[in-house]
Structures are given as C-alpha cells and as structure tokens.
Amino acid sequence: MTWRPVAPEAWRPRGILNLEPSAWTALRRAGSTSVVAGPGAGKSEFLAQRAAYLLETGLCKAPQQILAISFKTDAAANLAARVRQRCPPELAGRFTSLTFDAFTKSVVDRFHAAIPQHWRPTRPYDIGFPTRRMVEEELSRIRGMAQPAWQTRVAEFFPDRFETQDIGGHRLAVGAPQQLSTAEEFAIYHWLHHQLFGARVSKLTFVTLNRLAELVLRANPRIVRALRMTYPCVFVDEFQDTSFAQYDFLLSTFSQGGTAVTAVGDHKQRIMGWAGARQDAFERFEADFGAHRVNLLFNFRSSPELVRVQHFVARALDPQSPQIQAQAAGQLDRDVVQVWKSNSTAAEGQRLAQWIAADMAARQKQPRDYVLLVRQRPDQFEEELQPGFAAVGLSLRNESRAVGRTNVQDLMVDEAGSVALAALRLAAGQRSATAWLKLSSAVYAIRGADEADELLRDRADRDIQDFLGRLGQDIRGEAPSTELAAEVTRRIFAFLDVAAIRRTFAAYTRNDLLEIMIEGSSLQLQHAAAESATWRECIDRYVGTNDIPMMTVHKSKGLEYDTVFFVGLDDRSWWSHTPRNPEGIATFFVALSRAKQRAIFLFCERRGARERVSELYQMLTDAGIEEVEVN
Ligand SMILES: Nc1ncnc2c1ncn2[C@@H]1O[C@H](COP(=O)(O)OP(=O)(O)OP(=O)(O)O)[C@@H](O)[C@H]1O
C-alpha cells in the first residue's frame, strides 16, 4: 500500500495549480451543494478534484465509494478518465461514474426479485425506444379503453411530454393498484402495464426503468440504506439536464440519510429541454436537499475577448449573469470573434479550408485544435465541405457518422473500445505507457486482481505480454486489411473476455451496449485499415488524429477547441428557433463557449435567410463583432 491519508487542511489540488476561492468552499463542504458555473469554469475539473480530496483525505474511506452520475455516456467516461488522471489507481477504483440510465437500470437488474410482483418485468427484458408515432398510437389505444368521462383528458396528453413528464413525474404505488380513480392514473397504469406485460418479454423504456428503480428503493428501506452507506458522496454533473424522473429518483434515494450530493451545472447551457430536462432543477434541489449554492466566477478555457463576447449571450439568457473573470491568456490580438458572410457555399467551403490550412501552418496547430459545429445534419455539411478540404490536403471527420449501431464519437469514449485500442497500439509496436496502463488496469479489473494481489497481477502481466507478443508477430509483417482488422478485433475481445467485461464494467448494463461497441470497433478499424498502408496510419485514421472534427453543438457539450467554426448560422439550420427562445440561445452559447482562442460564425445566403436568427447576430453586433465578406 503506497497511499497514506492526507489531512484535509494539507490537501492540495492535483494536476492544476489552484482552484478559485469559491471552488475551495464548495470542495470542502460536508453537506449537499449546488455548484452553478458558466462554461470553462472547470466544473468537471472541480468534480475530479473533489473526488481526489474525498478519497485522498479518507473523508470517503474504503469500502465507501463516490457515485458520479452524468446525463450522457461520454460525460460519464470523461469524468472517470479525469479522476484516473488525478488520483492514485487504488483510490480511483472507488470512483464509480455512470449515466443515470445505467445506474437506475443496474438497480432494477440487481434487485429484480424485490420489485413488487405486479410491477416486476420479465427476466430478461428488452429496452424500448418508442418514436413519437408509437407514443401517439399507444395513447390512442389507452383512450379507446378508458371510460367515456376520461377520454377527453387522455386525448389531451402531449405525446412529446407524456413519457418524460407524466410518467417521469409519477411514483408507482408499492401495493397492487386497487382502483384507478383519475384519467391520469388510468393512462399511466396502462402505459406501464403494456410495457411490462404486453408481450412475452417486457419491453421497457429508460423512464420506466427509472420508475421501477425508484419504487424498489422506496419499498425496501434496507436496500436504500445499504446504497447510502456505500455512496455517502454523490455527484451529479450537467445538473441542468436532469429530467423529472431522474430528479425524483435522486430525491427519493439520496435526499435523506446524510448523503452529501454535489450538483454541478450551468442553467445557461440547458439544451436538453426537448429530452425532458426540468427547468427548475437547481431551485428544487436547493429546497429539497437543503443544498447551499456556490457560484464559480472564473473561466479557465477562453481568452478574455471571448469571455467578453460570451457575456453578451449569457445576459440574454439570464440578466443576473455575473461578470466572469477570464484566466486563460489571449494568444491573438485581432479577429477573435468574426462573422464570415458569403454568397456561395463553394466560396465559403474553399475559404474555410484554405484559412485553416494557413492558420495551422502559421500557428503550428494540429487538425484537432479546430472544430466545425453545426446545428443539425452534419452529414449534409460534410458532403458539401469535404471536397474543399481535400483540395488543400485536409480531411474532415463527421463525428456523428454512424458506425454500425453507434457513432464515431460514442465509440471513441467507450471503455471497451479504448481498452481494445490500447491493446492494438501495443501489439503494433507503439511504446506507450498510457496504453499499457489502460490495458493492464482493465485486465486487472476483469480478473478481480486488486492492488494487494501481486500474484494475480504478475500472472495478468505475463498473459498480456504473451498475447501482445503473438498478436504483434501476426500483424507487424502484414499490411492492414479489412479481413485482418476484423480478425484483430475478434482476437483482442476474445483475450479480454466479453462476458467478463460485461460483468466488470457497469456501463454495459444496457442489454446490448457491449455488442454494439465491439461491432463498432471492428467496423471502424476495418474502414481505417482499408485506407492505410501501415498499422500506425490505421490507428491514426481510427482515432481521427489527422482529421478536423465536425459535429452538432449538442455533441460538443463539455468539449473545447482552440478555434471553433459555426457553419450555417441561418434560418434553415435553426428552423425551430423562435425569438427569445432560451433553448436556441443556449445552443448558440454552448457553441461560442467551446472556443479557447477564436470563434467564427459562417453565414451563406444560399443556405437560408437570417430573420429567425437575427437576435443571435444582434448579440454579436452588440458585442462589437465585425462581419467580413469572404467571396
Ligand atoms: N482550477 C483550474 N486551473 C487551471 N485550469 C483549469 C482549472 N479548472 C479547469 N481548468 C481547465 O479549464 C478547462 C475547462 O474546464 P472544464 O472542462 O472542467 O470546464 P466546464 O466548467 O466543465 O466547462 P463547460 O461547462 O463549458 O463544458 C479545461 O481545459 C480544464 O483543464
């Protein structure tokens, strides 16, 4: 055992010089806290530091764990990766980072037998993702069964909100439902009953799984007590995106019994309203959990000029927005934020590609220092822009592109996919300490070889080396090909042991997520192999090292780039935007705030007008931003 507890007063942040004063206050708080902070304030970094603080000081001591709940898989994976960077491995193992869905599903799976029989799903069950059309049909079926006096009410449910708000905000009765006394109760009961018992195998949505998880904990105080003892500290990231069901689950499970819940987020980046995020999550949390609010006022990401412009948008979202203090130095003395105006998409694409090529050369930047953001349809923009990029020797990568049943971006942050990639790097002869650490810690976890078990770890090290030696021998003399890429993926996952990965990593509780990711890894490697002459090149293509990423603003949440281009700031891309609609302005805010040094907005009149979005341009004008013709 190398680690010794540090006294709380002596603890210092890891990997960064310091925290801002209010972050120190929040970090040391024993009770529940809401940390509200703008973009680049270091919210994820703060959580990673608080995890290090709690674990290294022994305030959260073994076998206790920290539970971090995120909204999206990539956010959960990024946070776990940050904690691994900040904490010794023997402590990082007690940081469990999951999505809400993975966590609530794991509760249902683990305590299946404790679910009251009249709500108990079959085992196994399927996961359903009903489309709007399917919700409409189901509601209409329910209306047909309802007594005449209730039919009008059932017809009034909004299909878009029925699941997220009506089901999500409803608690299931512990006892068997005796009598359904309102139209709401009738509709909710039949909706759930159909998912549970409508076919031989139950088909449940994640909202239903959430409701069942809440029920099983509420109905079984011993289970909830055990859960609270295991997780005395709970973090919730991106709290502004918390849905009705998720909030209610948190409330039911962790608002009592002494759990310290730290909820971190930015109400100005609330762009998941369509997915059922509640508007008042922070206020409710503060009231229900007795949480104390801490506002962070620094921005560690963006240059002072970018922070100045961001403030104009922040104020449109919240007139009380505090003035933020930029901590990052500006590297550019002009043209930090601009609007480029063109009258042909060809001219726009050409100018963009040439500009990036020149900037990369002048400022010695890499392709991944840039990003092209779009509001929607990245595939269309990719098709339109790729030729211009190819003409100057650059390549674009649409991070939302489908790879089998997943997409490039999700695959890149997937745990199993990253372990397999580490194995490939090592087998292909790359000497990478990070890859070795990634692979070996995964194998130790899979084999249950903890820190103290030197024998088991030595054995695992030898097996890894033997496996890499054999794989390396078979591939190093061969050029990559699709067949070989498929074979390599198969061998790596066979070595890792698919069933053991599923048992070990909580993220794979969704029935087929692991299969989806294994299939995706194989397909992505096959694409890369088909275009590469060496394994090194193949790995670079797989990862996209030499590609300029393109993605939707939604996918860019939490990420940062030196230079951000927003392509298509026009009415066609923003067709659903209505003036003063906070979700649209928040989307614009998220895009602008991904930039560290420069943000450029592109408008091409061939794509659409700029009436609906005129207020977004107005904010830039108010901030004194120039428009430049680029024909
Ligand atoms: N205390 C700190 N000192 C130095 N750098 C920091 C500190 N906190 C965060 N950073 C850096 O600032 C950048 C932004 O941090 P982070 O991604 O955690 O911000 P965030 O608040 O989650 O942002 P957003 O909401 O915009 O996604 C990162 O590059 C991070 O490494």
Nearest-atom number in ligand 1 for the CA of 559 is 27
The answer to whether the beta carbons of residues 564 and 520 sit under 8 Å apart is no
548's enclosing H/E stretch is strand 547-552
- The DSSP secondary structure of 172-222, one letter per residue, reads PPSSPP----SHHHHHHHHHHHHHHHSSSS-EE-HHHHHHHHHHHHHH-HH
The CA distance from 265 to 246, in Å, is 15
Q: Which two tokens stand for residue 120?
A: 């108990």
601's enclosing H/E stretch is strand 595-604
**What's the one-letter identity of residue 74?**
D
The answer to whether the beta carbons of residues 86 and 15 sit under 8 Å apart is yes
Q: What is the pLDDT of residue 275?
A: 63
377 φ/ψ sector (left φ>0, alpha ψ -120 to 50, else beta): left
Q: Please give all residues whose beta carbon lies within 6 A of any atom in ligand 1, as ranges.
A: 16, 19, 37, 39-45, 266, 269, 300-301, 558, 560, 593
- DSSP-assigned beta bridge partners for residue 629: 341
Q: Whose CA is nearest to atom 30 of ligand 1?
A: 42
Listed residue (95, 93, 121, 118) closest to 107, CA to CA: 121
Q: Whose CA is nearest to atom 5 of ligand 1?
A: 300
Ligand 1 centroid to Cα of residue 54, in Å, is: 20
- The pTM of this model reads 0.86
Measured in degrees and rounded to the nearest 5, phi and psi for residue 337 equal -125, 130
Q: What is the pLDDT of residue 449?
A: 85
Q: Whose CA is nearest to atom 3 of ligand 1?
A: 16
Reported confidence tier of residue 616, pLDDT bands at 50, 70, 90: very high
Q: What is the pLDDT of residue 81?
A: 85
The CA distance from 304 to 399, in Å, is 29
- 561-567 and 370-374 as β-strands: parallel, antiparallel, unpaired? parallel
Q: What is the pLDDT of residue 272?
A: 66
Give the pLDDT confidence of 221-248 residue by residue, as tens digits.
999 999 999 999 999 998 988 888 999 9
Listed residue (373, 329, 424, 286) closest to 593, CA to CA: 373
Ligand 1 centroid to Cα of residue 371, in Å, is: 18
Q: How far is CA 495 from CA 420, 442, 466, 499, 630, in A?
A: 10, 12, 11, 11, 54
Give the pLDDT confidence of 247-305 residue by residue, as tens digits.
999 999 999 888 999 999 998 887 766 666 777 889 999 999 999 999 999 999 999 99
Ligand 1 centroid to Cα of residue 449, in Å, is: 34
Give 68's DSSP letter: E
Listed residue (143, 101, 130, 106) closest to 195, CA to CA: 130
The CA distance from 385 to 355, in Å, is 13
Hunting for tokens 């009953």 — which residue is that? Answer: 193
Q: Which two tokens stand for residue 622?
A: 């108010």
In this prediction, residues 491-513 reach a mean pLDDT of 85
The CA distance from 478 to 538, in Å, is 12
Reported confidence tier of residue 451, pLDDT bands at 50, 70, 90: confident
The answer to whether the beta carbons of residues 244 and 15 sit under 8 Å apart is no
Q: Whose CA is nearest to atom 12 of ligand 1?
A: 300
Ligand 1 pocket: which of 27, 44, 295, 299 to mutate (most atoms <8 Å of CB)? 44
Q: How far is CA 167 from CA 157, 178, 192, 459, in A?
A: 11, 19, 9, 50
Q: What is the pLDDT of residue 29?
A: 95
Ligand 1 centroid to Cα of residue 45, in Å, is: 6
Ligand 1 pocket: which of 24, 36, 45 to mutate (most atoms <8 Å of CB)? 45
Ligand 1 pocket: which of 301, 590, 592, 596 to mutate (most atoms <8 Å of CB)? 301
Percent of the chain with pLDDT over 90: 71
Q: What is the pLDDT of residue 273?
A: 60
Reported confidence tier of residue 309, pLDDT bands at 50, 70, 90: very high
- The DSSP secondary structure of 235-293, one letter per residue, reads EESSGGG-BHHHHHHHHHHHSSSS-EEEEEE-GGG---GGGTB-TTHHHHHHHHHTPEE
Reported confidence tier of residue 511, pLDDT bands at 50, 70, 90: low
129-133 — which CB contacts under 8 Å span 24+ positions?
129/205, 130/163, 130/205, 132/159, 132/160
Nearest-atom number in ligand 1 for the CA of 48 is 18
Q: What SS3 state is found at 298?
A: strand
Ligand 1 centroid to Cα of residue 44, in Å, is: 7
Percent of the chain with pLDDT over 70: 98
Q: Whose CA is nearest to atom 18 of ligand 1?
A: 42
Q: ipTM of this complex > 0.90?
A: yes
Q: What SS3 state is found at 370?
A: strand
Ligand 1 centroid to Cα of residue 323, in Å, is: 17
pLDDT at residue 506 above 90?
no
Listed residue (251, 259, 202) closest to 226, CA to CA: 259
Q: Whose CA is nearest to atom 26 of ligand 1?
A: 39
The CA distance from 371 to 121, in Å, is 44
The CA distance from 82 to 19, in Å, is 16
Q: Any idea what the Cα angle at residue 262 is, between residues 246 and 21, rounded to 5°?
A: 150
Ligand 1 centroid to Cα of residue 86, in Å, is: 14
- DSSP-assigned beta bridge partners for residue 604: 342
Q: What is the pLDDT of residue 529?
A: 97
Give 7's DSSP letter: P
Listed residue (375, 282, 287, 373) closest to 563, CA to CA: 373
Question: What's the chain's average pLDDT?
Answer: 92
Give 163's DSSP letter: I
Ligand 1 centroid to Cα of residue 627, in Å, is: 30
Q: Which residues are annotated as a binding site for ATP?
A: 37-44
Q: Whose CA is nearest to atom 24 of ligand 1?
A: 39
Listed residue (527, 520, 526, 490) closest to 404, CA to CA: 520
Ligand 1 centroid to Cα of residue 597, in Å, is: 14
In this prediction, residues 318-339 reach a mean pLDDT of 93
Q: What is the pLDDT of residue 274?
A: 61
Q: What SS3 state is found at 294?
A: strand
Q: Whose CA is nearest to atom 1 of ligand 1?
A: 19
Reported confidence tier of residue 579, pLDDT bands at 50, 70, 90: confident
pLDDT at residue 129 above 90?
no
Nearest-atom number in ligand 1 for the CA of 265 is 25
Give the pLDDT confidence of 170-180 residue by residue, as tens digits.
999 988 777 88
The CA distance from 354 to 359, in Å, is 9
The CA distance from 367 to 116, in Å, is 55
The CA distance from 41 to 616, in Å, is 23
Q: Which residues are annotated as a binding site?
A: 37-44
